[in-house]
Structure 1
Amino acid sequence: MSDEELDVAYNVRRKAGRELFDRYMERYRAMSEAAVEGLPGHEGIVYDEVSGERLDVWGTGGEPRPVFVFLHGGYWMALSRDVSSFMARMLHEQGIATVVPDYTLAPEASLEEIVRQVRAAVAWVYRHGREHGLDPERIVVGGSSAGGHLTGMAMVGGWQGPLGLPENVVKAAMPFSGLFDIRPITRVYVNEYVRLDLERAAALSPALLPARYRCPAVFVSAENDGDGFLAQSRLFHPVWDAGDLMVVPDRDHFDVVLDLADAGSMPGKALIDLVRAV
């Protein structure tokens, strides 16, 4: 692809337009605030002493619950846990807890450091989850856009052992509109912030990394997603060879993940089924 074609394929914010994008961001915040109002949980827990980054736990109660760890998007340089808990009430009603971590945004943090932090969040859930009402043996990870990439980096192998975790610590995954071979990002505007070269991009691409254990996964994209994101899911799905590919009709890059607030939606039902199967 030419640089201009890559920008069209991956610049979903420009595709949406500023007015629609701003409305989506307002929906993220409003839906997240409504979802957690009055919900049992624990806010602002430091999960990584090195960075000081924090996470929220929502929807606990009674016996330790299976947990959905949601990694927010924003091209690694925007958004936060405060606008990313819109699925918490729906999952709570289904007996599932939600964990939403922050991570240091680019360019303050390198992408390698962001990946390290996300893996540290998974490690925290495994080591300390039980004392916060979470079942460390039933961790499902998901995320949207850049969070889909970070989900992929939690799915692959090689990082669990050094952290003292079992290779199958992530029991299932649901990346939305993920980026799995991020080498094209070196040629689009986002690279002004993440500052990757091809060698580092390859080393941070889930589709190019080994995984002896392949957890079940549902790869979700939107019918009206950016062409690059649709292509990425269609690339990684057969490579992973342990999951389903779901293209949600009448949705785009930004609203498809909001369907997780609805247990009857295609993604909502798939997530519930995925968690209950682990």
Structure 2
Amino acid sequence: MTGSRRRPLRWLALGAVMLGAGMAEAEPLPLAAYMDQPRVQPDAVIRYGGAPSQVVEVFKPEGKGPHPVVVLLHGGCYQQRFDGLPQTSAIAADLARRGFAVWNVEYRRLGEAGSGYPGTFQDVAAAVDRIRAEAARHDLDPRRVVALGHSAGGHLALWAAARHRLPADSPLYRPDPLRIGAVISLAGIGDIEGQGDVFSRACGADTFPQLLGDPQRLADTSPAALLPSGARTVMVHGTFDHVMPPFTGLEYARKARAAGDHAEAVSLPEAGHFDVVVPTSEAWKAVLAIVAREVEALR
């Protein structure tokens, strides 16, 4: 949003929801609360490549479609040693119960053959574009797609929404990419050059050198370098997030608005880095409200 008069009204409305959501929690959830979630089995599994990690789990809502699609991208510092799909399966199932088809994406992570640049990014692109080919079979609406990513997955979600701006000579370029109408980054990083050091304090100083290999690759991997994306953007951060504090989302949202995008930042009181991806948390209720609003905006 570029209109300063409308912004306070939006913040006031969202603030009421977020304040109510945050009051019930005394302290942020620990990593164990995220990692120890029971896995929920998907309705379908789709392989978009030959590597073990090149897979999408599909969670389907009841009723007749075509259904709006939430592309879900897990975090974990881009590292193979952290699970991804088992933890995000719980919020995927919850989203499906609420009428959204969920496209829960796995991708090659650091420690796996072919990961990093360009493989990790090519995986996300291929997985997202596969929605069109599977739309009829799984009752999906490829015109209503929202990307929802957590932590490292928040970066990949922002990137996926902006990749249509890649130059044709980039190894990450794909012709006619599926357009993402809105992206919701949960404690994600949008500006690797400006905020990579913040993210690396939790994930390790070698995170982005391993992922990218060459600083010159920021031009086609950092969402901030690809603005404007044209997608509605919401940066969501817990006030107690030790990995990506709220100021990082505020800064990215300002950059996106300055470039002409509709972008905002939301801070969730008393939430930490993992509250936003645990379906029993108060923070998740706030995330659900944002997802529903952004899907509705795509009608």
Q: Are residues 1:182 and 2:202 paired?
A: no
Q: Which position in structure 2 is the counterpart of 1:101? A: 105
The farther-off stretch of 177-186 and 232-241 is 177-186
Runs of 4+ residues deviating >6 angstroms: 260-264
Q: Which position in structure 2 is the counterpart of 1:250? A: 270
> Which residues of 2 match residues 223-242 of structure 1 at below 5 A?
223-226=239-242, 228-241=244-257, 242=262
Q: Are residues 1:277 and 2:297 paired?
A: yes
Q: Are residues 1:158 and 2:162 paired?
A: no
Deviation at 1:260, TM superposition (A): 8.5
From 215, 222, 236, the equivalent of 1:205 is 222
Residues 21, 215 of structure 1: alpha-carbon distance in 2 compared, 3 angstrom cutoff:
same
Tell me how far apart the structure 2 counterparts of residues 260 and 127 of structure 1 sit (CA, whole Å): 34
Give TM-score scaled by structure 2 length. 0.73
Deviation at 1:142, TM superposition (A): 1.1
Deviation at 1:229, TM superposition (A): 4.1
The one-letter code matched in structure 2 to 1:119 is A
Tell me how far apart the structure 1 counterparts of residues 102 and 281 of structure 2 sit (CA, whole Å): 12
The farther-off stretch of 80-89 and 118-127 is 80-89
From 49, 66, 69, the equivalent of 2:68 is 66
CA contact (8 A) 1:86 1:261 kept: no
Q: Which position in structure 1 is the counterpart of 2:16? A: none
Deviation at 1:66, TM superposition (A): 0.5
Structure with bigger strand share is: 1
Tell me how far apart the structure 2 counterparts of residues 197 and 231 of structure 1 sit (CA, whole Å): 27
Tell me how far apart the structure 2 counterparts of residues 261 and 87 of structure 1 sit (CA, whole Å): 11
Tell me how far apart the structure 1 counterparts of residues 278 and 255 of structure 2 sit (CA, whole Å): 27
Q: Which position in structure 2 is the counterpart of 1:191? A: 206
CA contact (8 A) 2:154 2:186 kept: yes
Tell me how far apart the structure 2 counterparts of residues 103 and 81 of structure 1 sit (CA, whole Å): 10
CA contact (8 A) 1:221 1:247 kept: yes
- Work out the number of aligned pairs and report it: 249
Tell me how far apart the structure 2 counterparts of residues 260 and 155 of structure 1 sit (CA, whole Å): 28
From 163, 177, 180, the equivalent of 1:170 is 180
Secondary structure in 2 aligned to 1:240? helix
Deviation at 1:65, TM superposition (A): 0.6
Q: Which position in structure 2 is the counterpart of 1:48? A: 49
Larger RCO (alpha carbons 8 Å, 6+ apart): 2
Residues 159, 50 of structure 1: alpha-carbon distance in 2 compared, 3 angstrom cutoff:
farther
Residues 269, 251 of structure 1: alpha-carbon distance in 2 compared, 3 angstrom cutoff:
same
Structure 1 residues without counterparts, runs of 5 or longer: 1-18
Residues 160, 151 of structure 1: alpha-carbon distance in 2 compared, 3 angstrom cutoff:
farther
Q: Which position in structure 2 is the counterpart of 1:4? A: none
CA contact (8 A) 1:259 1:267 kept: no
Residues 261, 126 of structure 1: alpha-carbon distance in 2 compared, 3 angstrom cutoff:
farther
Residues 164, 81 of structure 1: alpha-carbon distance in 2 compared, 3 angstrom cutoff:
same
The one-letter code matched in structure 1 to 2:59 is W
Secondary structure in 2 aligned to 1:253? coil
% identity of equivalent residues: 25
Deviation at 1:23, TM superposition (A): 3.7
Q: Which position in structure 2 is the counterpart of 1:136? A: 142
Q: Are residues 1:83 and 2:93 paired?
A: no
The one-letter code matched in structure 1 to 2:287 is P
The farther-off stretch of 133-142 and 189-198 is 189-198
Structure 2 residues without counterparts, runs of 5 or longer: 1-28
The one-letter code matched in structure 1 to 2:188 is G
Give TM-score scaled by structure 1 length. 0.78
The one-letter code matched in structure 1 to 2:91 is M
